[in-house]
Amino acid sequence: MIAHHLPALQVVVPLLAAPLCVMLRGARAAWLIALGVSWAMFIVAGSLLARVLREGVISYALGSWEPPWGIEYRVDLLNAFVVVLVSLVGALVISYSRESVDHEVRREQHYLFYAAYLLCLAGLLGIAITGDAFNVFVFLEISSLSTYVLIALGRDRRALTASYQYLIMGTIGATFIVIGVGLLYLMTGTLNMHDLAQRLPAVEHTRPVLAALAFLTVGISLKLALFPLHLWLPNAYAFAPSVVTAFLAATATKVAVYLLLRFYFTVFGAPLVLGEMPLPEILLALSLAAMFAMSTVAIFQDDVKRMLAYSSVAQIGYITLGVSTGTAAGLTGTVVHLFNHGITKGSLFLLLGCMAMGMRRITLQHIRGIGRIMPLTTFGVVVGGLSLIGVPLTVGFVSKWYLVLGALERGWWWVAALILASSLLAVVYVWRIVEAAYFKAPGEQVAKLREAPLSMLVPAWVLVVATLYFGVDTRFTAGVAARVAELLLGGFR
């Protein structure tokens, strides 16, 4: 019985838990609710994925109104995979969060903090799971508004301006998405994505549909921080509380990438998106620009959180590069990097949160010699750094392998070469962290630090170990990604 309702529960349970936190008001109670709900959602996501693998697409009609008249939840392999990523990271982040949030957020705000976190989780899961184009917008706004709030809770006053800037750019992005959806609705009379996919071919080459494609591309690109629409991201990541940065970096942009894939390949279909517009070319150029420009900017950052934030924009370049190749291998790379980069950046920002327990800002000067003082934390950062570079035995290598294959399949040997060259830039910024952490004498302040508590180290290290494990055993990640890529290119029609 309950198995039938899992798609709805996946979103509604965290959504209902948020007001519960507000009504109970206790800091500890709120954390326990968030913890329980997050792990429960991971279990739900896991069983959804298992069911999709077993039985294929799941459709759930909310309010029992048959789609397209009512809103439909539609789970296939792609969004089940994304939902697993989001809920896994959510569960680990919340397990980690207690000490970090105690340290960085005022105690009387905790119950609201966890409520906002639960709303953000519900919003992201809602975007990922829904089969209705307008419902996407509603849940996008739930996740966005809660994100603005969470970012603004950072200790530095620049968190406020970062949040404001994101609010402006995020709202423009969301409005663009509404315009795109509206144009599609105008031409087809439906909002259901599956229904849209069936009705669009009849009007495929009309101007409103092409304009809709343009608006959705720009709108979603704002949310996923595609270069040069990434301006909100570095400050938002740098000044948000550690827990928030880790959660957002691992999930929010990834869900936006999912949305792009969903609209491109399910709604519009590969032939239109890849074949008849210069879209792949534009995407390729922007991806390459992101990889090089943003990695270069990352090299010159002294603030480690900011450095990794710029690195995120660069890594998003890899993800969109896979889309632009339009090949099965390239798309496999995109989907697998979604997951791989999610867990890598999640682990890195969680570990930086461990360091933030002892210092207000984490700059290269501040972390001098920290390798000896916080050995487990620092070593985890090194592993994450290696994955950013794409060293074999880490997940970063797996992603780049498929991306290179995808580029070669298109005959773009120069793109393959550029992917490898850009990795060298990552070597430089990761080396700067390693150099400061291991080859500099600890200063007075660093010497006073202690290793982070186990309650923080364990969840962070689960992700570090995952970075290594899925770097060797790729049956699950690359296996699912390859099947997803096949589905995407085959179209769902």
Closer residue to other proteins, CB minimum distance, 65 or 413? 65
424 Cβ contact list (under 8 Å, min separation 6)? none
Structure tokens at 254: 């990834």
Phi and psi of 247, rounded to 5°? -65, -45
Rule CB under 8 A: choose which of 31, 42, 139, 263 binds other proteins. 139
Quick check: 153 binds other proteins (CB under 8 A)?
yes
- Shortest reach from residue 332's CB to other proteins, in Å: 32
Is 225 in contact with 173 (CB distance < 8 Å)?
no
Distance between CA 61 and CA 67 in Å, rounded? 7
By CB under 8 A, the count of residues binding other proteins is: 76
Q: Report helix, strand or coil for 352.
A: helix
Per-residue burial over 328-355, b = 16 or more CB atoms within 10 Å of its CB, e = otherwise:
bbbbbbbbbbbbbbbbbbbbbbbbbbbb
Establish if 476 lies at the interface with other proteins (CB under 8 A). no
Which two tokens mark 286?
């922007």
Q: Which stretch binds other proteins (CB under 8 A): 77-85, 166-174, 296-304, 473-481?
A: 166-174
Which of 257, 260, 236 shows the shortest CA–CA distance to 248?
Answer: 236
64 binds other proteins (CB under 8 A): yes
Query: Is residue 86 within 8 Å of 102, Cβ to Cβ?
Result: no
What the block records as the tokens of 107 is 């105690």
| Binding range to other proteins, per CB under 8 A, among 30-38, 45-53, 165-173, 461-469 | 165-173
Beta-ladder partners of 309:
none
Quick one: 185 or 379, whose CB is closer to other proteins? Answer: 185
Q: Which is nearer to other proteins, 138 or 489 (CB)?
A: 138
Q: Which of 15, 293, 388, 482 binds other proteins (CB under 8 A)?
A: 15
Binding to other proteins, residues 184-213 (CB under 8 A): 185-191, 199, 203, 206-208, 210-212
252 lies in the binding site for other proteins (CB under 8 A): no
* Rounded Cα–Cα distance for residues 373 and 354 (Å): 12
| Site map 17..56 versus other proteins, x via CB under 8 A | -xxx-xx-x-------------------------------
User: Does residue 300 touch other proteins according to CB under 8 A?
Assistant: no
Minimum distance from residue 96 beta carbon to other proteins (Å)? 21
Residue from the set 34, 49, 88, 122 that interacts with other proteins by CB under 8 A: 122
- Please identify which residue in 29, 61, 376, 382 interacts with other proteins, judged by CB under 8 A: 61
CB nearer to other proteins: give 161 or 296.
161
**Candidate residues 126, 241, 358, 390; the one interacting with other proteins per rule CB under 8 A:** 126
* Encoded tokens for 59: 């459709």
Least distance in angstroms from the C-beta of 298 to other proteins? 20
69 scored as a contact of other proteins (CB under 8 A): yes
Look at the block and give the residue holding tokens 């290119």.
489
Q: Which two tokens stand for residue 347?
A: 């682990």
- C-alpha distances (whole Å) from 144 to each of 137, 248, 305 are 10, 11, 21
Burial of 483 (0-12, 13-18, 19+ CB in 10 A): middle
At its nearest, how many Å lie between other proteins and the CB of residue 119? 5
Cα separation, 472 vs 453, in Å, equals 29
Q: Which residues in 384-423 contact other proteins (CB under 8 A)? A: none
CB 399 → other proteins: shortest distance, Å?
33
Q: Is 65 one of the binding residues for other proteins (CB under 8 A)? A: yes
Among 214, 289, 376, 465, binds other proteins (CB under 8 A): 214
231 binds other proteins (CB under 8 A): no
- Which of these ranges, 131-139, 306-314, 337-345, 485-493, lies near other proteins under the rule CB under 8 A? 131-139
Burial class (CB in 10 A: 0-12, 13-18, 19+), 428: middle
- 6 is a contact residue toward other proteins (CB under 8 A): no
Kindly give the pairing relationship between strand 72-75 and strand 58-61. antiparallel
Residue 475 and residue 472: Cα distance in Å, rounded? 9
CB 316, CB 362: distance < 8 Å: no
User: What DSSP assignment string belongs to 111-122?
Assistant: HHHHHHHHHHHH
Could you say which DSSP state residue 75 is in? E
State the nearest-atom distance from the C-beta of 453 to other proteins, in Å.
Answer: 26
Which residues between 81 and 110 bind other proteins (CB under 8 A)? 109
Q: How far is the CB of 482 from other proteins (least distance, A)?
A: 33
User: Whose CA is closest to 458, among 95, 39, 30?
Assistant: 95
For residues 82 and 115, which CB has a smaller minimum distance to other proteins in the complex? Answer: 115
User: Which is nearer to other proteins, 127 or 388 (by Cβ)?
Assistant: 127
Which of these ranges, 112-120, 343-351, 397-405, 478-486, lies near other proteins under the rule CB under 8 A? 112-120
**445 lies in the binding site for other proteins (CB under 8 A):** no
Q: Determine if 324 is a binding residue for other proteins (CB under 8 A).
A: no
8 A C-beta contact, residue 177 and residue 203? no
